Structure 1
């Protein structure tokens, strides 16, 4: 599933209220770190599917040869949308999808995040909670 003209807000139960850059743990890049790096350095360049697949490739240190075939295999099983991303759940980033479904991230304390929150023509979806109520 890919959204258009949508803002995914930080999760209600997020422990942070502003964007925190994810860290590298035990000298390994976390999913949050890779997603943040890809989206932050390439705003509105990639779709959700692009970022998910690139994250998978980087995390598993897979070379880009046969990428089309691997991508097809990767998406043969359903994937969670970015409402479940650690960026919105644990790191204080909102994810904005433009009209073409390309994404950018915004610190929840930033002016741009608040502008997007207040635009009536943008769909707002809450990031998924980490714990059930």
Structure 2
């Protein structure tokens, strides 16, 4: 099984992120987007979920997977590589940094916050940038 989890890592926003301060992802009409679902899961319960749990939870919600199929579908989902949170719209578009602790549990930090700055300079963490939206 392939994993997207990070440990003791801080994912900074992408270099080409278009915002100077973090934004809550907007709804698309009445529908929640991947960004909305990821944001709600992590913001409402910081350091509760791993990256794998968030990515699969959003996939399951978007595809209305029945509870009895979750274990099988999770195995299928992670049998092939998945984009990690470095490719999330939260880190690429909406200005949220992601900190993964030693257990791989994640929390969001707004680009303009003191906590974001502190984490981005923390020598005990591996600090990586989110993926750019455009080549360059």
Interval of TM-score (by shorter of Structure 1 and Structure 2): over 0.9
Q: How far apart are 1:124 and its partner, in Å?
A: 0.5
Deviation of the 1:20 alpha carbon? 0.3
The two structures have a TM-score, normalised by structure 2, of 0.94
Provide the alpha-carbon RMSD of the alignment. Answer: 0.9
Q: Which residue of 2 aligns with 1:115?
A: 118
Shift of 1:60: 1.6
**What residue ranges of structure 2 are gaps of 5+ in the alignment?**
none
The total of aligned residue pairs comes to 133
Structure 1 gap segments, 5+ residues each: none
Q: Which residue of structure 2 aligns with residue 27 of structure 1?
A: 30
How many angstroms does 1:26 deviate by? 2.1
Measured against aligned partners, the alpha-carbon deviations of 1:55-112 in whole angstroms (never above 9, x if no partner) come to 0011122222221111101111110111100001000000000000110000011111
Which deviates further from its counterpart, 31-40 or 61-70? 61-70
TM-score, normalised with respect to structure 1: 0.96
> Are residues 1:18 and 2:21 paired?
yes
**1:47 Cα deviation from its structure 2 partner:** 0.5
The ranges of structure 1 where at least 4 consecutive aligned residues each deviate by more than 3 angstroms after the TM superposition are: none
Corresponding residue of 1:55: 58
Q: Which stretch shifts more, 98-107 or 58-67?
A: 58-67
Secondary structure of the residue aligned to 1:115 is: helix
Q: Superposition pairs for residues 1-133 of structure 1, below 5 Å?
A: 1-133=4-136
In structure 1, C-alpha distance between the alignment counterparts of 2:115 and 2:9, rounded to whole Å: 14
Return 70-79 or 7-16, whichever deviates more. 70-79
Shift of 1:115: 1.2
